[in-house]
Every structure is written in structure tokens, then in C-alpha cells.
Amino acid sequence: MTISVRPVEHRPDYDGESPFPEAGEHTPVGGSQAGLTAAIVVLPFVALGAAIFLAWGRGITLTDLIIAAVLYIVTGLGVTVGFHRLLTHGSFTTRPWVRVALGVAGSMSFQGNLIDWVAVHRRHHAFTDRPGDPHSPYRYGTSLRGQLQGLAHSHLGWLFINDQTPAERYAPDLLADPAMVRVGRAFPLLCALSLALPFGLGWAISGTLYGGLTAFLWAGLIRIALLQHVTWSVNSLCHVVGSRPYRTRRHDRSTNVWPLALLSFGESWHNGHHSEPTCARHGVERGQIDPSAGLIRLLERLGWAADVRWPDQARLRHRRVDVPPRAGD
């Protein structure tokens, strides 16, 4: 399956350095949506303060940390393997129940319903670091001030700007899939489950309400905040700092940022990804840790994943900036 989104808003006049034409357009989102977004962003940090206060002198329990780690891994891989590599880029095909399971796991990360997530991300690839990109750090130009403003915008600020990405245009395949539409509709319920689960587990394992509350804070809110910032860092840092060993399209400044590789499950090999977006492995070189590719390999071995687009080494070699391109590349 090949999914490609053809940019229709050509901006041949963009020089790669100026602020985007829409940089001055700040149509704010509606009051209730802004409140909800602010709450989702701010509350986990309020919770972090509360959690440290609660933990002071008593510590947090091993149970809290184990539940947090398990949920971080499950929801994180739901985003990277499910939302991103499977549903956005079609890097492999899988059984319907695996699609649903990955969609459910990703939805529990509080990153929006899966259809909107996919639509925004396909638009990011269609207009990478050019006018039309929903979260480019180059939106405000390449001056120091513009770059700092752009980093804030690409990390978080873009969530507060009313800039709708129509799913009808960017994710018609998912809108035509009843199972995916159902998972998308269940998003609020899955968010509730993502918080109720650690609370219930913490309560059941410790046998005390206090144990439920500490698990809710560490394995619920703080775990969500950590994954959100790691994902947002791929949008912000992984287009600004790091290495660019592979050729990408004009203006695309995606980078590889190795320190984030493990926490982002391999997604911070972002230059490799932008160079070959449909490839199932983003960390394409020896030593580049990519746990998401590891899960796809496991699914393939179990017979649950097929048509996996593994890296083509000959093709990759010619995508390197230090190797001359082949004719036709």
C-alpha cells in the first residue's frame, strides 16, 4: 500500500529563510478548546509538583514505576508503530485486530484521535519546513528570534493555533475504514481508560487508595507528559539540531538526534525517516536503536505483519549526502 499526499498549495516563491506568509495569522482556537488544550498541557506538570510533594520522604513505589514504564512502552509504540509507521505511511500491512490494537494503544497517549493525528502528520510530510507545514520550526524565519519562536511553535504552540487539517483530504483511507473510525470516536473514552488503568492497578496491587493515587500521578499524568514531550521534540528538535546524513526534499531540514532514540522508540532518526518516509525502519544504520522497527520485525516473525518495507541498502547509500545521487533519484 502506498500512501502519498500531493501538495496542492505550491509556494515556489519560498526562499527557505523568510517567515512563512501565514506566520502573522494567529486565529486563536475557541475558548473551550484552548482551555482543554491548556489543561492537558499544564495539568501533568501540576501533577509532577504534586507527585514530588507526595513522594517526599515516602518515595514512590516500584509498582508505580513499573506501571508507568509498561504504559509508556505500550502507548508509545501505539503511536510510533500504529499511528505513524502503519497508519500514516503504510510501512507494512497487518491483521485487522493488530491495527485496532495499535490504534487503541496510540489513542491512550492523549495525542488526539488517530485520524486527525495521521492527517496532520501527512500534511507535515507534504509541506515539510515550507509554508503549509502545521508545525515547522522555520515558520518565523531563520533569525535567532524567529528560530526560538519557531521552536516553541513546533513543540507546542501549533496546538493553540486554529489551523484545521481536513481529514477528508489527508486521511480518506482511514475515514473509509469503519474500525478506524470507531477507534477515533472512542478517543475520549480511551483517554479516560489511560488514567483509570494506573489508578485501578495501583489501588489493587497496593491495597490502599493512596497507592492508587501515586500510580495515577506517576503512571498516569507524568507518563503521559513525558511521552508527549518526546513526541513533540521530534517535531521541534528533530528539525533543528542534530545530523543530516541523508538527502531530503528541498527545504526539509529534518535531523537525526541520537539521545532521543530510545525514549522516542527510534523516531528521532528523523532525517532517515524524511528521506524514505515509507520505510519501516527509521534507524537505518548499524547501531541506530529503533525499538519500533523491532516490534514490526516481531509482528512479521509471528506472521501478523506482511509487505514490510525494510530498508534497501543500495538505495539508502545513494540517499546519503556524501555519496553522489544516482540518475533518476
By CB under 5 A, name the binding residues for Zn ion: 254
How would you class 62 by CB atoms within 10 Å of its CB: exposed for 0-12, middle for 13-18, buried for 19 or more? exposed
Q: Are 267 and 282 in contact (CB under 8 A)?
A: yes
Using a 10 angstrom Cβ sphere, with 0-12 exposed, 13-18 middle and 19 or more buried, the burial of residue 226 is middle
Nearest to 293 by CA among 88, 83, 81, 107: 81
Q: Give 137 or 220: the residue with its C-beta nearer to Zn ion.
A: 137
CB 133 within 8 A of CB 127: yes
Q: How far is the CB of 122 from Zn ion (least distance, A)?
A: 8
In the complex, what is the shortest distance from the CB of residue 274 to Zn ion, in angstroms, rounded to a whole number?
A: 6
The full length of the chain comes to 329
Give the residue closest to Zn ion by C-beta: 254
CA nearest 71: which of 233, 230, 208, 193? 193
The 8-class DSSP code of residue 249 comes to S
CA 131 from chain centre, in angstroms, equals 21
Nearer to Zn ion, 94 or 194 (CB): 94
Rank residues 113 and 254 by Cβ distance to Zn ion and give the closer one: 254
Smallest distance from Zn ion to CB 124, Å: 6
Residue closer to Zn ion by CB (options 113, 236) is 236
CB nearer to Zn ion: pick between 99 and 273: 273
What is the chain's alpha carbon radius of gyration, rounded to the nearest angstrom?
20
Nearest approach in angstroms of CB 125 to Zn ion is 6
Shortest distance, CB of residue 317 to Zn ion, whole angstroms? 22
Q: How far apart are CA 245 and CA 252, in angstroms?
A: 13
Cell 509541506: give the residue: 127
DSSP letters spanning 111-179: S--HHHHHHHHHHHHHTTTSTT-TT-TTTT-SSHHHHHHHHHHHHTGGGGB-----HHHH-HHHHT-HH
Nearer to Zn ion, 216 or 232 (CB): 232
* Residue 254 or 275 having the CB closest to Zn ion: 254
| Beta carbon nearer to Zn ion, 219 or 238 | 238
